[in-house]
Structure 1
Protein backbone atom coordinates (compact mmCIF):
# COMPACT_ATOMS: atom_id res chain seq x y z
CA UNK A 1 0.00 0.00 0.00
CA UNK A 2 1.40 3.38 -0.90
CA UNK A 3 0.80 6.58 1.01
CA UNK A 4 -1.53 8.85 -0.95
CA UNK A 5 -0.19 12.22 -1.94
CA UNK A 6 3.18 13.73 -1.39
CA UNK A 7 4.66 12.48 1.92
CA UNK A 8 6.60 15.69 2.37
CA UNK A 9 3.40 17.73 2.14
CA UNK A 10 1.13 15.55 4.30
CA UNK A 11 3.64 14.76 7.06
CA UNK A 12 3.19 18.12 8.86
CA UNK A 13 -0.60 17.75 8.62
CA UNK A 14 -0.49 14.26 10.13
CA UNK A 15 1.77 15.56 12.90
CA UNK A 16 -0.68 18.36 13.64
CA UNK A 17 -3.85 16.27 13.70
CA UNK A 18 -2.15 13.35 15.43
CA UNK A 19 -0.99 15.43 18.40
CA UNK A 20 -2.80 14.37 21.58
CA UNK A 21 -3.80 17.91 22.53
CA UNK A 22 -5.17 18.58 19.04
CA UNK A 23 -7.27 15.41 19.14
CA UNK A 24 -8.75 16.33 22.51
CA UNK A 25 -9.46 19.95 21.57
CA UNK A 26 -11.11 18.96 18.27
CA UNK A 27 -13.31 16.37 20.00
CA UNK A 28 -14.31 18.82 22.75
CA UNK A 29 -15.16 21.52 20.22
CA UNK A 30 -17.17 19.02 18.16
CA UNK A 31 -19.87 19.22 20.84
CA UNK A 32 -20.36 22.99 20.68
CA UNK A 33 -18.39 26.25 20.63
CA UNK A 34 -16.56 26.89 23.89
CA UNK A 35 -14.65 29.60 25.67
CA UNK A 36 -10.96 29.19 26.46
CA UNK A 37 -11.45 28.33 30.14
CA UNK A 38 -14.18 25.80 29.30
CA UNK A 39 -11.76 24.02 26.98
CA UNK A 40 -8.98 24.17 29.57
CA UNK A 41 -11.22 22.60 32.22
CA UNK A 42 -12.22 19.77 29.89
CA UNK A 43 -8.71 18.98 28.61
CA UNK A 44 -7.13 17.57 31.73
CA UNK A 45 -3.48 18.33 32.45
CA UNK A 46 -2.96 20.79 29.58
CA UNK A 47 -0.97 23.87 30.46
CA UNK A 48 -2.23 27.32 29.55
CA UNK A 49 0.70 27.74 27.16
CA UNK A 50 0.08 24.41 25.42
CA UNK A 51 -3.62 25.11 24.98
CA UNK A 52 -2.83 28.54 23.52
CA UNK A 53 -0.25 27.04 21.13
CA UNK A 54 -2.69 24.28 20.10
CA UNK A 55 -5.59 26.67 19.49
CA UNK A 56 -3.39 29.07 17.50
CA UNK A 57 -2.12 26.22 15.33
CA UNK A 58 -5.63 24.92 14.71
CA UNK A 59 -6.83 28.42 13.87
CA UNK A 60 -3.87 28.97 11.52
CA UNK A 61 -4.64 25.68 9.73
CA UNK A 62 -8.31 26.58 9.33
CA UNK A 63 -9.68 23.90 11.65
CA UNK A 64 -10.81 26.21 14.45
CA UNK A 65 -12.38 29.67 14.34
CA UNK A 66 -11.82 32.25 17.06
CA UNK A 67 -14.66 34.71 17.58
CA UNK A 68 -14.31 37.79 19.79
CA UNK A 69 -17.42 39.15 21.46
CA UNK A 70 -16.32 42.74 22.09
CA UNK A 71 -19.86 43.87 22.94
CA UNK A 72 -19.85 41.66 26.05
CA UNK A 73 -18.70 43.16 29.33
CA UNK A 74 -16.03 42.04 29.81
CA UNK A 75 -15.24 41.01 26.21
CA UNK A 76 -14.73 37.29 25.69
CA UNK A 77 -13.55 34.84 23.04
CA UNK A 78 -15.25 31.70 21.80
CA UNK A 79 -13.68 28.88 19.79
CA UNK A 80 -15.55 26.63 17.38
CA UNK A 81 -14.75 24.14 14.66
CA UNK A 82 -14.79 25.33 11.09
CA UNK A 83 -16.40 23.26 8.35
CA UNK A 84 -12.97 21.74 7.70
CA UNK A 85 -12.56 21.01 11.41
CA UNK A 86 -15.86 19.16 11.49
CA UNK A 87 -14.65 16.85 8.70
CA UNK A 88 -11.88 15.67 11.05
CA UNK A 89 -14.21 14.55 13.87
CA UNK A 90 -15.31 11.23 12.35
CA UNK A 91 -11.75 10.03 11.53
CA UNK A 92 -10.56 11.04 15.01
CA UNK A 93 -13.45 9.18 16.66
CA UNK A 94 -12.57 6.10 14.58
CA UNK A 95 -8.93 6.37 15.68
CA UNK A 96 -9.99 6.74 19.33
CA UNK A 97 -12.23 3.68 19.02
CA UNK A 98 -9.37 1.69 17.48
CA UNK A 99 -7.01 2.77 20.29
CA UNK A 100 -9.61 1.87 22.92
CA UNK A 101 -10.13 -1.55 21.36
CA UNK A 102 -6.41 -2.34 21.02
CA UNK A 103 -4.60 -0.58 23.87
CA UNK A 104 -4.20 -3.75 26.00
CA UNK A 105 -2.62 -5.66 23.12
CA UNK A 106 -0.34 -2.73 22.29
CA UNK A 107 0.75 -2.42 25.94
CA UNK A 108 1.43 -6.16 26.07
CA UNK A 109 3.48 -6.02 22.86
CA UNK A 110 5.50 -3.11 24.24
CA UNK A 111 6.19 -4.99 27.50
CA UNK A 112 7.27 -8.09 25.54
CA UNK A 113 9.56 -6.05 23.30
CA UNK A 114 11.11 -4.37 26.34
CA UNK A 115 11.65 -7.72 28.06
CA UNK A 116 13.31 -9.08 24.91
CA UNK A 117 15.68 -6.08 24.75
CA UNK A 118 16.81 -6.51 28.36
Structure 2
Protein backbone atom coordinates (compact mmCIF):
# COMPACT_ATOMS: atom_id res chain seq x y z
CA UNK A 1 0.00 0.00 0.00
CA UNK A 2 1.28 3.44 -0.95
CA UNK A 3 2.00 5.96 1.75
CA UNK A 4 2.29 9.71 1.69
CA UNK A 5 6.09 9.51 2.00
CA UNK A 6 6.50 6.97 -0.81
CA UNK A 7 3.87 8.17 -3.29
CA UNK A 8 4.37 11.93 -3.22
CA UNK A 9 7.97 12.02 -4.57
CA UNK A 10 6.94 9.81 -7.50
CA UNK A 11 3.96 12.05 -8.27
CA UNK A 12 6.00 15.26 -8.10
CA UNK A 13 8.72 13.64 -10.19
CA UNK A 14 6.20 12.66 -12.83
CA UNK A 15 4.62 16.13 -12.86
CA UNK A 16 8.00 17.90 -13.02
CA UNK A 17 8.32 17.29 -16.76
CA UNK A 18 6.51 19.87 -18.95
CA UNK A 19 5.18 17.24 -21.36
CA UNK A 20 3.73 15.11 -18.59
CA UNK A 21 2.25 18.14 -16.85
CA UNK A 22 0.62 19.17 -20.14
CA UNK A 23 -0.88 15.68 -20.49
CA UNK A 24 -2.37 15.97 -17.01
CA UNK A 25 -3.78 19.39 -17.94
CA UNK A 26 -5.40 17.83 -21.01
CA UNK A 27 -6.93 15.08 -18.89
CA UNK A 28 -8.56 17.57 -16.54
CA UNK A 29 -11.18 17.97 -19.29
CA UNK A 30 -11.85 14.22 -19.21
CA UNK A 31 -10.51 10.91 -20.51
CA UNK A 32 -8.80 10.86 -23.89
CA UNK A 33 -7.23 8.35 -26.23
CA UNK A 34 -3.46 8.09 -26.43
CA UNK A 35 -3.55 9.46 -29.98
CA UNK A 36 -5.61 12.49 -28.84
CA UNK A 37 -3.16 13.15 -26.01
CA UNK A 38 -0.12 12.79 -28.29
CA UNK A 39 -1.44 15.11 -31.01
CA UNK A 40 -0.11 18.43 -29.59
CA UNK A 41 3.39 17.04 -29.08
CA UNK A 42 5.97 16.72 -31.82
CA UNK A 43 7.67 13.51 -30.75
CA UNK A 44 7.83 9.90 -31.78
CA UNK A 45 5.13 7.57 -30.47
CA UNK A 46 7.48 5.51 -28.30
CA UNK A 47 8.84 8.66 -26.65
CA UNK A 48 5.33 9.84 -25.84
CA UNK A 49 4.39 6.41 -24.49
CA UNK A 50 7.36 6.62 -22.09
CA UNK A 51 5.85 9.81 -20.66
CA UNK A 52 2.53 8.03 -20.15
CA UNK A 53 4.31 5.13 -18.46
CA UNK A 54 5.97 7.48 -15.97
CA UNK A 55 2.60 9.04 -15.15
CA UNK A 56 0.96 5.63 -14.83
CA UNK A 57 3.76 4.22 -12.66
CA UNK A 58 3.39 7.23 -10.35
CA UNK A 59 -0.33 6.57 -10.14
CA UNK A 60 -1.29 9.89 -11.72
CA UNK A 61 -3.15 8.31 -14.64
CA UNK A 62 -4.83 5.03 -15.43
CA UNK A 63 -5.42 3.54 -18.85
CA UNK A 64 -7.78 1.02 -20.32
CA UNK A 65 -7.60 -0.68 -23.69
CA UNK A 66 -10.74 -1.46 -25.65
CA UNK A 67 -10.05 -3.00 -28.99
CA UNK A 68 -7.32 -0.94 -30.60
CA UNK A 69 -7.94 2.20 -28.57
CA UNK A 70 -6.21 2.91 -25.27
CA UNK A 71 -8.08 5.50 -23.20
CA UNK A 72 -6.31 7.41 -20.45
CA UNK A 73 -7.89 9.14 -17.45
CA UNK A 74 -6.68 10.91 -14.35
CA UNK A 75 -6.41 8.84 -11.19
CA UNK A 76 -7.94 11.20 -8.61
CA UNK A 77 -6.33 9.45 -5.64
CA UNK A 78 -2.87 10.52 -6.79
CA UNK A 79 -3.89 14.14 -6.99
CA UNK A 80 -5.41 13.83 -3.52
CA UNK A 81 -1.88 13.16 -2.20
CA UNK A 82 -0.76 16.43 -3.76
CA UNK A 83 -3.75 18.28 -2.30
CA UNK A 84 -2.96 16.98 1.19
CA UNK A 85 0.67 18.09 0.85
CA UNK A 86 -0.25 21.55 -0.43
CA UNK A 87 -2.84 22.09 2.32
CA UNK A 88 -0.40 20.96 5.00
CA UNK A 89 2.31 23.32 3.81
CA UNK A 90 -0.08 26.16 3.15
CA UNK A 91 -1.32 26.08 6.76
CA UNK A 92 2.27 26.08 8.02
CA UNK A 93 3.31 29.06 5.88
CA UNK A 94 0.14 31.00 6.62
CA UNK A 95 0.80 30.56 10.34
CA UNK A 96 4.42 31.65 9.94
CA UNK A 97 3.43 34.70 7.90
CA UNK A 98 0.76 35.60 10.47
CA UNK A 99 3.38 35.35 13.22
CA UNK A 100 5.74 37.54 11.20
CA UNK A 101 2.97 40.09 10.66
CA UNK A 102 2.22 40.17 14.39
CA UNK A 103 5.91 40.60 15.19
CA UNK A 104 6.32 43.44 12.67
CA UNK A 105 3.21 45.21 13.97
CA UNK A 106 4.52 44.97 17.54
CA UNK A 107 7.89 46.35 16.43
CA UNK A 108 6.22 49.27 14.65
CA UNK A 109 4.23 50.11 17.78
CA UNK A 110 7.41 50.30 19.92
Q: When the two structures are superposed, what TM-score results if normalisation uses the length of structure 2? A: 0.57
* Residue 91 of structure 2: aligned partner: none
Post-superposition CA distance 1:23-64 (Å, at most 9, x none): 11100111111111111113x323322210010111111111
Rg bigger for which structure? Answer: 2
2:75 to 67, 76, 82: 82
* Residue 19 of structure 1: aligned partner: 17
2:66 to 65, 69, 81: 69
Structure 1 50/84 Cα, relative in aligned 2: closer, same or farther at 3 Å? farther
* Residue 33 of structure 1: aligned partner: 31
**What CA distance in whole angstroms lies between the structure 2 residues aligned with 1:38 and 1:13?**
23
**What CA distance in whole angstroms lies between the structure 1 residues aligned with 2:12 and 2:35?**
27
Q: What is the RMSD of the two structures over their aligned residues, measured on CA atoms?
A: 2.9
Structure 1 unaligned runs (5+)?
92-118
Post-superposition CA distance 1:83-104 (Å, at most 9, x none): 1355469x8xxxxxxxxxxxxx
Using the TM superposition, give the Cα deviation of residue 15 of structure 1 relative to its aligned residue in structure 2, in angstroms: 2.9
Using the TM superposition, give the Cα deviation of residue 82 of structure 1 relative to its aligned residue in structure 2, in angstroms: 0.9
Residues 1:58 and 2:51 aligned together? no
Structure 1 85/26 Cα, relative in aligned 2: closer, same or farther at 3 Å? farther
Structure 2 unaligned runs (5+)?
87-110
